[in-house]
Chains A and B, each alone.
Chain A
Amino acid sequence: EVQLVESGGGLVQPGRSLRLSCAASGFTFDDYAMHWVRQAPGKGLEWVSGIPWNSDSIGYADSVKGRFTISRDNAKKSLYLQMNSLRPEDTALYYCAKGSNEYSRSSCDSWGQGTLVIVSS
Chain B
Amino acid sequence: AIRMTQSPSSFSASTGDRVTITCRASQSINTYLAWYQQKPGKAPKRLIYSASTLQSGVPSRFSGSGSGTDFTLTISSLQSEDFATYYCQQYYNYPYTFGQGTKLEIK
Contacts and interface: CB of A to CB of B under 8 A. Distances in A.
Interface of A: 35, 37, 44-47, 50, 59-62, 95, 100, 104-109, 111-114
A37 B38 CA distance: 13
Interface of B: 1, 32, 34, 36, 38, 43-46, 49, 55, 85, 87, 89, 91-92, 94-101
Contacts, number: 60
Contacts of B32: 105, 107
A47 B1 contact: no
Contact of A45 (B1, B38, B91): B38
B87 A44 contact: yes
B95 A47 contact: yes
> Which 4 pairs of residues, A with B, have the shortest CB-CB distance?
A59-B94, A107-B34, A111-B43, A47-B96
A66 to B, nearest CB: 13
Given A61-B95, A105-B32, A109-B55, A44 B1 contact: no
A50 B96 contact: yes
A45 B94 contact: no
27 contacts: A35-B96, A37-B44, A44-B85, A44-B87, A45-B44, A45-B89, A46-B98, A47-B95, A60-B94, A60-B95, A62-B1, A95-B43, A95-B44, A100-B46, A104-B94, A105-B91, A106-B91, A107-B32, A108-B34, A108-B36, A108-B44, A108-B46, A109-B46, A109-B55, A111-B45, A112-B43, A113-B43
Given A45-B44, A62-B95, A109-B46, 4 more contacts: A47-B98, A59-B94, A104-B94, A108-B89
Nearest to A63: B95
Nearest to B94: A59
Contact of B46 (A95, A105, A107): A107
Nearest to A35: B96
A100 B32 CA distance: 12
B43 A105 contact: no
